[in-house]
Amino acid sequence: MKPIRAILVDDEPRGVASLRKLLQLNCPEVEVIATCASADEAIEQINQLKPDLLFLDIAMPEKNGIALLSELGNIPFEVIFISAHSTYMNQAFHFSAVDYLLKPVDEDLLMEAVKRAEKRIQQKEGGQAQTSEPTMDTLLHNIKNRNVVQKMKLCIPSLKGFQVVVIQDIICCIANGNYTSFQFINRPPILASKPLKRI
């Protein structure tokens, strides 16, 4: 199996060195093809190298990680966000089905996040899944509306890929074995590929 080509973006050299070491020790499937200390440098490297995966620090001077993604527009790669702040728009990230790790990065959570990213990359390469755009679009929407939970959106993992819904349109969630059925006010149900406990 070919390696996952990754770029690390963090304005703190110690953060980059620490993450690189954790990846070497725990995630041999990840090949670090570049490290960047700023959003502008990252945009240049992303456009040139076309990575599979981006490890992105959120809080950076001048231009943060969210601004970087907004500027890129098209996001065909997977993103794992890294943050030193546990309260940094937590709901916005969780509802958007993106991976979000706190510094110092826990190696077990890192391995889990990489495995999820690897699975999504393989599905995309096999033509079975969408690009990362639905999750990123949802994240950007949720950040804008983070103070009004009813306006936030939720990415639901289904057999058809991620489906985006408005949270206030959900009536209830019903357990269905290893799946969960989402019932809505104004659309047909969606069968999520996660058990109710995970939802």
Q: Please answer whether residues 55 and 39 qualify as being in contact, where contact means their C-beta atoms are separated by less than 8 angstroms.
A: no
Q: Which domain holds residue 37?
A: 4-134
Give the pLDDT band of residue 132 (cuts 50, 70, 90): low
- For residues 136-172, b (16+ Cβ closer than 10 Å) or e, as one string? bbbbebbbebbeeeeebbbbbbbeebbbbbbeeeeee
Q: Quick one: average pLDDT of 46-56?
A: 95
Interaxial angle between packed helices 65-72 and 133-144, expressed in degrees from 0 to 180 and rounded to the nearest 10: 130
* pLDDT tens column, 53-112: 999 998 888 888 888 888 887 788 888 988 887 665 566 676 666 788 888 899 999 999
46 and 69 together in one domain? yes
On whether residue 62 sits in a domain, the answer given is yes
62 and 114 together in one domain? yes
On whether residue 175 sits in a domain, the answer given is yes
Rounded to two decimals, the pTM is: 0.74
Report the CATH number at residue 46. Answer: 3.40.50.2300
165 and 106 together in one domain? no
174 and 116 together in one domain? no
164 and 120 together in one domain? no
On whether residue 139 sits in a domain, the answer given is no
Q: Please answer whether residues 63 and 38 qualify as being in contact, where contact means their C-beta atoms are separated by less than 8 angstroms.
A: yes
The three-class DSSP label of residue 160 is coil
Encoded tokens for 139:
């994240």
* pLDDT tens column, 11-38: 999 999 999 999 999 999 999 999 999 9
Q: How far is CA 15 from CA 2, 27, 37, in A?
A: 26, 17, 10
